[in-house]
Every structure is written in structure tokens, then in C-alpha cells.
Amino acid sequence: MTINFKAEVDKRRDELMKDLFSLLEINSERDDSQADAQHPFGPGPVKALEHFLAMAERDGYTTENIDNYAGHFEYGQGDEVLGIFAHLDVVPAGSGWRTDPYKPEVIDGQLYARGSSDDKGPTMACYYGLKIIKDLGLPVSKKVRFVVGTDEESGWADMDYYFQHAGVKAPDFGFSPDAEFPIINGEKGNITEYLHFAGTNAGAVQLRCFEGGLRENMVPESAAAVLAGNIDQQELEDALSLFLDAHPQVSGSVEAQTKGIRVEIIGKSAHGSTPQEGINGATYLAKFLIDFDIQGDARAFLEVTADLLHDDFQGQKLGVAYHDDRMGELTMNAGVFQFKEGAEDNTIALNFRYPQGTNPETIQKVLEKLAGVTRVSLAEHGHTPHYVPMDDPLVETLLSVYEKHTGLKGYEQVIGGGTFGRLLKRGVAFGAMFPDYENTMHQANEHTDVEDLYRAAAIYAEAIYELIK
């Protein structure tokens, strides 16, 4: 049986885009301030989950909502289960958008919205790939379980809860539509380590507070500090003007406040797995402040940030750099900065993507030797390195379909980003970004190419069918 999956996608273009728009209009950022028993990550992720499951029920699937942590539906029959794992939560929109991040808009063929490429757009393309198989009634010998989570961008507590409470066996193999084509069959380990500092101040200038970053897996777009003591606004403005002239890649401002003078530096956000693609507003702010007479623990906080973290994405200055021939370099994103004068526990969150051959404990021991750091703690949740060989039938099948649709040669990729593909021993990430695509995940003005979404949907349809027919 020969099916023209591209033609089948073309028949469903309008309905695919309509469904995607309705999902993108939901602000599904995690909001712990509104979290409760019914909304484990806040109301937004729950709303997106309920909307997606209602859509699946509309299309004839029987769905399961696992206590608003995650949900799934199944299609087909057979003893083997193909798992498809996607997520409906998004990182905070942040600032600097040319459009409303939750009012999707197509401009010059690009769909702008938070979640358009990570991961609502690819999720919808994959959903329609499976829908085509169902609509056509194609014969299958395996079962598909389509799982959507609501906490992928934070701690993966959704999947921890799902596997404990879903009441079904884990899929035998599967993929996540949350990365790149041709395939991601290797993922580095992922751990956040926290540098802790005390809160004393000394010197002629006091650092009242320093804050930067929204999430550990995002490059801080901006950071702000409040200064007091022997310093005035004009002095700060003059110094900042000189600093910005020397560093035109960032912008900044000075503002008088009741508790002191506020200084802000604005850079550019990026995904924490590719920190070199961003401009870290927090490390630039520390680099600016380091020339003032700030002493005590505040000085140690600034020195680590300005001298050891600024423009070092592989941990070389920290002494934790590591290379593996298959998985490549360790990378580091300095993601969240919090200092408050007098506080007993101030922190810098460092998100590491590490290859096989090193581990969080080894990194921790090195970081504990840093001057001014009182202790180093590890995040409760992390991931070890993951790899599926190229000769695995899952990988071979997915690459074969990709090559058929694109005419391009498939090849393996190992990334620093973490996807739900690693939830399964035989799990990978598959699409939906094509080679040479502009990656705007976790950035302002996130967008995806509309035609690429349709191309991806056709690839997903045929790939799923080849895996379960």
C-alpha cells in the first residue's frame, strides 16, 4: 500500500493550523505561586493539557488525564507499544517581543508565538501525523501511546509522576518531537549545581541586591542590581556609558530608587544547552560592577560571576571542562543569580550538560574549592548521559523516512539539550527543526517555519506508520 503522506497533510493544513493556534494562545508557563493540588505547576499548564486532551477526544481517542501532571491517549493494538512524548509547557516569554507571545501570528511564512517551535508546533505536527493514520484506517500491528507532559521545561516532575501513577507499562521504544532532524540519538547528562554565598557587604559601595535569570535552562536576558553607599547616580551613568561603548552587544540603564540606585544590563536569551548563542546579562552586569569598591561576600559573588563565568561556556575557568570523543564538550549555562544583602544563602545556578566520562559529583568537588563559595548543592532532579546506537531498528527506520522525504543523508547527533526521548532506553528525539534552521527556542520572538511544520507532519505520519504497520 502506497500512501502519499504529503498530500494527506496538505488536505489538513487549515485544521492543523487552527488547532495549533488554539494551543499557542494558552499561556502555559509554570507558575508556582498559583500551584496547588489541582494545579501542580500552576493553572496554565493544566489549561493546555485539558485543551489538548479535549481535542484528542474530539478526534475519537479515549484519553487519560493523570491528575493534571500529564495525559495520554492510545491508538492501535498489539503487544509492543510505540511511545510518543511531547510537552505543552513553555518557558517564560520574557521581554523583547515584536508580537504578543500568546497571540500567534504568521509573518513572512514564520509563525511567531511562545511554544511555536518548543514544543507545541512539533507536537501538533506529530499529532496530525498519527491522525492521518487513524483517518485512513491503515492496518497496524503495534500500539501507539501519545503522552503529553506539563513540566518538561523545569524539573520533569510531570514524567516522574506519570510513570508512577499512569497504571500502564512503559513503551518499548519511542521518540519525542522536540529537537531536530535528522535525529537526536544521544543526549548529554543534565544537572544544575548551585553555588552558595553568604550576604555580607563591605567597602565604600554596597551591593544591596543582584538578580538575573528566569530559568536555569535559559541564558539570562537581563539582570539588575541596586547599589548604595559612596556613589551617586551621575557617577554610575557616566561609568555605564563608557561600559556600553566598550560592549555594544548589551544595553543598560540607571535609575534612582528609595533603597539605592538600580543598574540594569540587557543582553539576549537563548536555550541553556547552547549558552554561546545568548548574551548573558548577569555576567555582563557583574563585569560592570566589579570595578567599584564592593567588598565582603558581595565581592566574592561578583568575582565568580565576572571572572569565572563570563564568556566561558565550557567551564574552563572553573576547572570542570571535559571532552568525550562521541558526545563532545561539557557545556555550562550560568542561569539564575540571586544576591540579597544580609541573606544567609545567596545562589548562582549553573546548568551543566555533561558527556559520558564525568559526573555531577566530580564537578561538585571542583566547584567547592572556589573562593567565597560556602557550599555547592545539586538539584534534586538530573539526567545521566543517554545514547541509542545507529544500528537500532528505531533509528534506522526514522532516518530512512527522513531521507526519503528530504533527499538528505541522515546522520547521528548528540546534543546538550534534554528531551523526553531519553525517558526510554530505546528512545530518541526526532524533529521538528530541519538542518540550517534558525533556532529561536527559549528566545524572544520564538518562531517556526509554517511550511516546515507541514513537512514535519508528513515525515511523522510515515515514520509512525513504518514503526507500527
- Residue positions annotated with a catalytic role: 89, 152
Helix (H) or strand (E) holding 43: helix 43-58
Contact 232, 374 (CB under 8 A): no
The one-letter code for the residue type at 415 is: I
Residue 257 bridge partners (DSSP): 260
Question: How far apart are the C-alpha atoms of 463 and 179, rounded to whole Å?
Answer: 16
Q: Pick from 422, 440, 431, 421: which is nearest to 115 by CA?
A: 440
Q: Are strands 260-266 and 251-257 parallel, antiparallel or unpaired?
A: antiparallel
Contact 352, 191 (CB under 8 A): yes
Question: How far apart are the C-alpha atoms of 458 and 168, rounded to whole Å?
Answer: 29
Q: Give the CA dihedral 406, 412, 415, 419, nearest 10 degrees.
A: 70
Question: How far apart are the C-alpha atoms of 22 and 236, rounded to whole Å?
Answer: 47
Q: Pick from 447, 443, 446, 445: which is nearest to 215 by CA?
A: 443
Block residue for cell numbers 536576558: 221
Question: Phi and psi at residue 365, in whole multiples of 5°?
Answer: -60, -35
If DSSP codes are grouped into helix, strand and coil, which group holds residue 453? helix
If DSSP codes are grouped into helix, strand and coil, which group holds residue 327? coil
Q: What share of the chain is helix, strand, coil (3-state, %, to 5)?
A: 30, 30, 40
Q: Pick from 200, 59, 202, 76: which is nearest to 140 by CA?
A: 76
- The helix-helix angle for 450-468 and 120-136 (nearest 10°) equals 50
Contact 136, 1 (CB under 8 A): no
Helix (H) or strand (E) holding 165: helix 157-165
If DSSP codes are grouped into helix, strand and coil, which group holds residue 79? coil
Q: Are strands 81-87 and 179-180 parallel, antiparallel or unpaired?
A: unpaired
Contact 272, 218 (CB under 8 A): yes
